[in-house]
Amino acid sequence: MTDGWRHAGRPFVWRRSLWISALLTPALVVMVLFVLWPVLSAFRFAFYDFNGLRPSGFIGLENFRQVLFEKPYSDWTYNALKHNVIAFLALMLFENGTAFLIAFALLKALPGHRIHQVIVFLPVVLSAVIVGFLWRLFLHPLFGLVNQLLGLVGIGAIPWLGNENTALGSILFANVWHWLGFPTLVLLAGMQRISKDVLEAARLDGAGDYALMTKIVWPLIAPSVTIVTILTFIGSFNWFEIPYVMAGLTGSPGGSTDVLGLYFYRTAFGSTTTGIQDFGQGSALAVLMFVFVAGVTAIALRYLRRREIEQ
């Protein structure tokens, strides 16, 4: 090995260890203090009753029992979970589906494709808070841009964010607008890695655009699809900012936009009306969310990777 100090005797070995430790220490200290310790504590806290900010007594699985099986908490948990699942499915279909189409269109490298990439990615760099507020204004029933435009074609005032049937969809739309550029460019990069020869050969065999898309491109970008799916899943289950900004802490109206992130935050840091905090129940929710997301991700990765290999 070409390590300079390797054969240089005892004092040098000493100094070498010191040097390496010095390089590693800052990063390790920060990680232990602000990642390792908090994460381990999160698991521990889920089994405790809290009085204010301090754990006051070990209560076993009580916090878990409450959030999973005791009404109304369990109703709230499943209501929020349902919306996370809907968000995931909707984003897979609309966000990633659109992204796939746009990426395929961009793959042709027609004039203007570069500027389009820059445009479609622009909202991605903006804060979710900006995007959320912007769409909240646009979706206002009386003065918002959307209803004003619809008014031109004779459609009356729709309370997008006020009606339970449209609120979640409206928030998802804002989310798609915000993030569309990300899967688009990831999928495009995947498509660009397909060798030119493969595409050429398919063309010579007389494959049309549709056949090219479904038979060649789709299977060959499996690794990118895996990544996008996993990231969408993690994103959907940690969803917080846009619902918070557009629908408030309670997931209004009537909890129809409540998601686990909001419910967790509300439980841990206090509801709007009373400020009642419950760190124990909050920790139980966090643990459940973590285990669920990590578990499903691990299983999905296995399954999706297998699809990649089979292709």
Partner 1 sequence: MSRRRIGLALASASFAWGFASSVARATDISFWTWRQEDKAAYNELFADFTKANPDIHVKFESFPDENYPTIVSTALAGGKGGDVIHTHAYGWLEQFVKAGYFEPLDMAAVPSLANQPADALVSGTYRADKKVYSLPFASQTLGLFINKDVFANAGLTPPITWDEFVTVSKALKEKGIYPLANGMGTSWFNEMFVAIFTNPFLGQDFVSDLTSGKTTFKDPRYVAALSKLLELRPYMPDGFEGIDYDTAGQLFLSGKAAMLAGGSFDIATYRSQNPAINMDFVAPPMAKPGDTPQATKFFDGGYAVNSKSANKEAALKLVNWMGTKEFGDKFSALLGNISPIKGVVIKDELLSHVAKLNDTAMPHINVVYFRFEKPTGSELLQGDITKMMSGSITPDQLAADLTDGLAKWYKPFQGK
Partner 2 sequence: MRDRGETFRNGAIQLLLAVNAVIMIYPLFVMVASSFKTNAEIFSSPLSLPTHFSTANLEKVWTETNFVRYLANSVGITVASVALILLFSTLAGYAIARYQFRLSSLVLMFFLSGMTVPLKLAIIPLFIQLDTLGLVDSYLGLVLVYVAMGIPSAVFIMTGFLRTLPRELEESARMDGASELRIMWSIMLPLARPALVIVAIQNAVPIWNDFFFPLVLITSDNLKTLPQGLTVFVGEFTTDWGVLFTGLTLAALPITLLYIVLSKQFISGITQGAVK
Tokens of 16: 């070498």
Q: DSSP secondary structure string, 239-308?
A: --HHHHHHHTTTTSSTTTT--HHHHHHHHHH--TTT----HHHHHHHHHHHHHHHHHHHHHHHHHHHHHH
Q: Which of 85, 143, 155, 254 binds partner 2 (CB under 8 A)?
A: 143
Q: Which is nearer to partner 1, 46 or 161 (CB)?
A: 161
The single-letter code of the amino acid at 50 is: F
**270 in contact with partner 1 (CB under 8 A):** yes
**113 in contact with partner 2 (CB under 8 A):** yes
Tokens of 103: 């990426």
3 interface partner picked from partner 2, partner 1, none, CB below 5 to 8 A per type: partner 2
Q: What are the distances in angstroms from CA 267 to CA 29, 78, 235, 261, 272?
A: 30, 14, 20, 10, 10
d(CA 244, CA 234): 18
Tokens of 85: 């699942």
Q: Which residues from 48-67 bind partner 2, rule CB under 8 A?
A: 53-54
Q: Which is nearer to partner 2, 87 or 245 (CB)?
A: 245
Terminal-residue alpha carbon distance, the chain: 40
Q: Which of 16, 42, 116, 162 binds partner 1 (CB under 8 A)?
A: 162
Q: Least distance to partner 1 from the beta carbon of 291, Å?
A: 24
Site stretch for partner 2 (CB under 8 A), options 57-65, 71-79, 81-89, 114-122: 114-122
**224 in contact with partner 2 (CB under 8 A):** yes
264 interface partner picked from partner 1, partner 2, none, CB below 5 to 8 A per type: partner 2
Q: Least distance to partner 2 from the beta carbon of 2, Å?
A: 5
The Cβ of residue 187 has, within 10 Å, a number of other Cβ atoms equal to: 25
Q: Which of 72, 125, 156, 204 binds partner 2 (CB under 8 A)?
A: 125
Q: Least distance to partner 1 from the beta carbon of 102, Å?
A: 31
**142 in contact with partner 1 (CB under 8 A):** yes
Cα dihedral sign, 147-148-153-154: positive
Q: Which of 81, 190, 257, 263 binds partner 2 (CB under 8 A)?
A: 190
d(CA 175, CA 169): 10
Tokens of 32: 């232990």
Helix (H) or strand (E) holding 173: helix 164-179
235 interface partner picked from partner 1, partner 2, none, CB below 5 to 8 A per type: none
Beta carbons of 170 and 154 less than 8 angstroms apart:
no
Q: Is 266 left (phi over 0), alpha (psi -120 to 50) or beta?
A: alpha
**272 in contact with partner 1 (CB under 8 A):** yes
Q: Least distance to partner 1 from the beta carbon of 56, Å?
A: 11
**169 in contact with partner 1 (CB under 8 A):** no
Q: Which of 159, 169, 223, 253 binds partner 2 (CB under 8 A)?
A: 223
294 interface partner picked from partner 2, partner 1, none, CB below 5 to 8 A per type: partner 2
The residues of the shown chain that bind partner 1, judged by CB under 8 A, are 33, 51-53, 71-73, 139-143, 147, 156-164, 248-250, 252-256, 269-278
